[in-house]
Structure 1
Amino acid sequence: MTTTIADATIHHAQTVHFLGSLLTFRASAADTEGQFSIVESCSAPGAGAPPHLQADAEAFLVTEGTFEFMLGDTWRRCGPGEFVYIAPGTVHAFRNAASTPSRMLIINLPGGPHENFFRAVGEPVEFETTAFPPMGAPDVARLTSEAERFGIKILPPPHR
């Protein structure tokens, strides 16, 4: 739910669980006139996103722990305060490389496609929960189909 006061927008966030990450929507496309969205991600050890690409730009700001990012053919390890920008059409992936939960902000420009994908495939959980629900094997066919609906192409896992 969003409340508008004069020219300011106050967003009432939601949290979903997706592939071992707790995603809390901090700013949605509806809040920013479609300009961008911000999701706070808390990922379990080893959790992350498979290789994919999309038409929107994506950026990551690590706030706690350590993530490994695949950018095209290279991997980059990032800790708190490090920023990664993904240009539209760039193949990328990430995973929590720490033995404890890691956190980052995910920014998508424009807002909408990624946010709507997360909402479509994520399992709603208690707002700002820090407890990861039990995770079974993902329904890859459903994830791939839903991703395509939002302009995201999921790719096969990389060789490391």
Structure 2
Amino acid sequence: MQHHNIRPVVAEQDSVGLLDVLGPKIRHLTDVSDDGAGYCLMMGEIAPGVIVPLHSHADRETFYVLSGTLDVFVENGWIPVAAGKSLDLSGGQRHAWRNVSAAPAMILIATTPRMGRFLREVGRPVSEVEPGKPAPADVQRFLERAAAYGYWVGSPADNAIAGLRLG
């Protein structure tokens, strides 16, 4: 049996706090600076009516719904994912999220530290974001950073195939 030098760390409240990522909100629960850590854990909140447009990336993601219900688009259709259920998405799989319910959905997200860093870079502290539609500058920054990371973001036509209207 091989032993690794793993130091237990009790995480304090994330100094960055709650981030708005063009609508969905996330809070990092683990450090994202160390790729050797193996994973990044985040808490997410998707309010009623909020969507995450069609996208893909090489990073594996596992989502566990703590409360509420979300719909996820994978392959060619929408799948409901209710509280107590999980969804594991392999890297490269195109997917989208939406909350069509009347209540916020709370999720745990396990992914790579790289994805965690991306979300930290594109997110803004909730206290700095005006309610409503994302600002064009925030959308542009998101698209530029996604391209820099090699992530694919669906066009309005791609999203229309999934029944999502952007803008």
Q: TM-score range by the shorter chain?
A: 0.7 to 0.9
As a proportion of its length, which structure holds more strand?
1
Deviation at 1:60, TM superposition (A): 0.8
Distance 1:125 1:31, change over 3 A: farther
Q: Does 1:135 align with 2:137?
A: no
Unpaired segments of 5 or more residues in structure 2?
1-5
* Equivalences for residues 67-78 of structure 1 within 5 A: 67-78=70-81
Equivalences, count: 148
**Please, which moves more after superposition, 72-81 or 32-41?**
32-41
SS at match of 2:9: strand
Residue deviations 1:35-93 (CA, integer Å, cap 9, x gap): 01011111111213111110110111111101000112121011101111111111001
Q: Structure 2: which amino acid aligns with 1:134? A: P
Rg larger for: 2
Q: Which whole-Å CA distance do the structure 1 matches of 2:48 and 2:135 have between them? A: 17
CA shift, 1:31, in A, is 6.6
Separation (CA, whole Å) in 1 of partners of 2:141 and 2:24: 18
Partner Cα separation in structure 1 for residue 40 and residue 51 of structure 2? 19
2:42 to 29, 39, 45: 39
Match of 1:58 among 57, 61, 73: 61
Structure 1 pair 85/158, CA: closer, same or farther in 2 (3 Å)?
Answer: farther
User: Over aligned residue pairs, what C-alpha RMSD do you find?
Assistant: 2.1
> Where does structure 1 lack aligned partners over 5 or more consecutive residues?
1-5, 127-131
TM-score with structure 1 length normalisation?
Answer: 0.82
Q: Which amino acid aligns with 1:154?
A: V
The TM-score normalised by the length of structure 2 is: 0.79
Any conservation in 1 of the 2:34–2:113 contact (CA below 8 Å)? Answer: no
Q: 1:105 aligns with which of 104, 108, 116?
A: 108
* Structure with the bigger percentage of helix: 2
